[in-house]
Structure 1
Amino acid sequence: MFTPISRTELRERLDHALAEGPFERALSLAIDLSGLALARLKKRLEDAGSPVSITTLSYWRAGRTRPERPASLRAVPALEAALGLPTGSLTRLLDADPNPKTQPATEFVRWDRLWDRQSLVVPVLHTFEASYENSLVAESVHDTLHVDGDRLLRRAHVREVLRAREDQAQVKIVTMKGGGPGRPPKLTATRYCHPGRVETRSEDGFTVAELIVDEWLSQGETTIVEYEFEYTDVVPDTGFDRRFRHTIPSYLLEVHFTPGALPASCFSYWMVSPTSARQEVTPIPLTSEAPAHVVRTALPAGICGMNWSWE
């Protein structure tokens, strides 16, 4: 039979964690003892001028990431005050163990390798706490695009099978780009997950979004997520690509063109980075009876895409 932990015992455990660490255990116990839900704790931090997202608080509490960037470190004293902890008690634990075992796995390539050096999306990605950890990996990705009779991409539906590489995995980052400046795609639907923080960059048409799976996953568990973006492009589209930070066992990209408005030609490709040469360039048949598609297995980290020509 389950016996709840008394506040006295919880306080004793917290005192021990504040003395011996680690940071995440002390933080988790302090939150439990305070009785604050993460949403209320987030509000207190905002009121103190040190905003921290619920996702980030969850990560800190689970030990998947720690406060490292200057803005995050400045929020720790406010966190201590909000939880009624002695000043410096959590900060001391970070100073005592500045290099916890929460570093990204080496098989993940850097965001910088997948985007142009001039791209403004990389700094945005680095503001997301989840971009620094790799607890969820894609086992398969299925992109379905719909291009209308005016040659404009209108909708992208994505279905992913995700596997947890560690306990309490819940968040992944998604990046989509519109057809030009001022046209960032809009996240319009999710299934088996829900959106967290969403940022758009109208200057270059990017949308970056957190997707939070509906249930925490334990190491080795899998889940399915689906999401959809709507596009408002005004210039005919001529391609789409997906950028992967790690090897993908299975990737399917299908593009539905309007019957009677098919491109003149179409091909698929893979690239190591935006500045590298295209490899595995393969012509794709075009018919009104079936979507154009490309299938890849054991796809290495890099860029997989499809281009088409209207002339």
Structure 2
Amino acid sequence: MGGTAFSSALRGAISTSGLGLDRIQARLQEHGISVSVTALSYWQSGKRQPERQSSISAVRALEQILELPSGALLGLLPPPRPRGTSSSRRRAEDTARPLTLDAHSGITLVGLHDRCEISADGGQSAVTATAVFKAGADGQDRWLLAYRQDGSGERAPNLRPLRNCSIGRVEVDADAGLTLAELLFGHPIDTGETYLVEYALRYDHAPGPECRKAHFREFWHPIPEYLLEVHFGMGSTPSQCWQYARPEDADEPESRPLKVDEGNSVHAIALDFGPGIFGIGWA
């Protein structure tokens, strides 16, 4: 049986526990969480993945029920798949791939630095990104940002230009949790030239602690350098952190623990990485 790293880990934990799916469903109900046996079956087979806020809460409870370390399952969840109407999916696919910053043939992402701010309740409150692009053709003057927030129907974050860019057209698909926005450069760049922009994604309301405790990027092309920082606000210091990387051709993610530094932050760096997913998880 195939599936994802998450489904394989869940399937193995269920087998080790000796609990049937109906019994696990009953244990979840004791936690005040309603999940059908069919959904549990789909999760462990890889046919579906937990994406909604209620499902993320269920995964957190499953870690307790199956006596797994906190984050053992959540840290393996793959990126959410697009939802919404078929027309909205086609529109997004026509302009950008979800969670990628490298969708243009005439321009390449050569460096990216994400700083993710975690509020006191454990949810992400803001992400500041500094990106460096290199032109592969003359007259490059914009970048298409595709950003997916955790949980469908959630209010899209507020996108703010900080340096060397302005905001052009913006489209939001609330059902798919997808925001598409043009970042317009201050001036066009030609072949071989580089350009740096900085922007921020801020939440009008901080997501609650039941959101997925991870920040990641999916790269569809190799990137020379990706630096990811996660800063934990007062009262939100996690008990454990880890970085994880899953190259496109890998069945299982590679992970290693991270230590919170004196500034209450962790960081991880990927060099010459991609295609694949790279991120930091915490619990």
TM range (shorter): 0.5 to 0.7
Moved over 3 A (4+): 114-122, 129-133, 275-278
Looking at structure 1, the residues matched to 151 and 82 of structure 2 have their Cα atoms a distance apart, in angstroms, of 15
The corresponding residue for 2:242 is 267
Deviation of 1:178 after TM superposition, in Å, equals 2.0
* Counterpart check, 1:152 vs 2:96: no
The corresponding residue for 1:234 is 207
The answer to whether the 8 Å contact 1:177/1:185 transfers is no
Task: Indicate how the Cα distance of structure 1 residues 292 and 115 shifts in structure 2: closer, same or farther if over 3 A, else same.
Answer: closer
The corresponding residue for 1:79 is none
Task: Indicate how the Cα distance of structure 1 residues 193 and 293 shifts in structure 2: closer, same or farther if over 3 A, else same.
Answer: same
Task: Give the residue type in structure 2 aligned to 1:240.
Answer: H
Looking at structure 2, the residues matched to 132 and 297 of structure 1 have their Cα atoms a distance apart, in angstroms, of 19
Deviation of 1:255 after TM superposition, in Å, equals 0.5
Residue 143 of structure 1, aligned match among 114, 137, 144 = 114
1:191-245 Cα shifts (integer Å, max 9, x gaps): 2011121111211322111112111111000010111111235332401111112
Task: Give the residue type in structure 1 aligned to 2:215.
Answer: F
Equivalent residues, number: 195
SS in 2 for 1:155: strand
The corresponding residue for 1:246 is 221
Task: Give the residue type in structure 1 aligned to 2:132.
Answer: V
The corresponding residue for 1:281 is 255
Task: Indicate how the Cα distance of structure 1 residues 178 and 142 shifts in structure 2: closer, same or farther if over 3 A, else same.
Answer: same
Residue 193 of structure 1, aligned match among 165, 169, 181 = 165
The corresponding residue for 1:257 is 232
SS in 2 for 1:125: helix
Deviation of 1:115 after TM superposition, in Å, equals 6.2
The answer to whether the 8 Å contact 1:179/1:235 transfers is no
SS in 1 for 2:208: coil
Task: Give the residue type in structure 1 aligned to 2:263.
Answer: E
Task: Give the residue type in structure 1 aligned to 2:245.
Answer: W
* Counterpart check, 1:215 vs 2:187: yes
1:64-108 Cα shifts (integer Å, max 9, x gaps): xxxxxxxxxxxxxxxxxxxxxxxxxxxxxxxxxxxxxxxxxxxxx
Deviation of 1:188 after TM superposition, in Å, equals 2.3
Give TM-score, length-normalised by structure 1: 0.57
1:94-125 Cα shifts (integer Å, max 9, x gaps): xxxxxxxxxxxxxxxxxxxx966554575332
Q: Structure 1 vs Structure 2: percent identity of aligned residues?
A: 27
Looking at structure 1, the residues matched to 140 and 250 of structure 2 have their Cα atoms a distance apart, in angstroms, of 33
Task: Give the residue type in structure 1 aligned to 2:241.
Answer: C
Task: Give the residue type in structure 2 aligned to 1:300.
Answer: G
Looking at structure 2, the residues matched to 175 and 186 of structure 1 have their Cα atoms a distance apart, in angstroms, of 13
Looking at structure 1, the residues matched to 258 and 96 of structure 2 have their Cα atoms a distance apart, in angstroms, of 39
Structure number having the greater helix percentage: 1
Looking at structure 1, the residues matched to 200 and 131 of structure 2 have their Cα atoms a distance apart, in angstroms, of 12
Task: Indicate how the Cα distance of structure 1 residues 276 and 203 shifts in structure 2: closer, same or farther if over 3 A, else same.
Answer: farther
* Counterpart check, 1:182 vs 2:153: yes
Give TM-score, length-normalised by structure 2: 0.62
Looking at structure 2, the residues matched to 164 and 270 of structure 1 have their Cα atoms a distance apart, in angstroms, of 27
Looking at structure 1, the residues matched to 199 and 163 of structure 2 have their Cα atoms a distance apart, in angstroms, of 6
Q: 1:113-124 alignment to 2 at 5 Å?
A: 118-120=82-84, 122-124=89-91
The answer to whether the 8 Å contact 2:118/2:236 transfers is no
SS in 2 for 1:211: strand
SS in 1 for 2:180: strand
Gaps of 5+ in 1: 1-113
| Structure with the greater alpha carbon radius of gyration | 1
Looking at structure 1, the residues matched to 81 and 96 of structure 2 have their Cα atoms a distance apart, in angstroms, of 21
SS in 1 for 2:198: strand
The answer to whether the 8 Å contact 2:96/2:146 transfers is no
The answer to whether the 8 Å contact 1:239/1:305 transfers is yes
Larger RCO, structure (CA 8 Å, separation 6 or more):
2
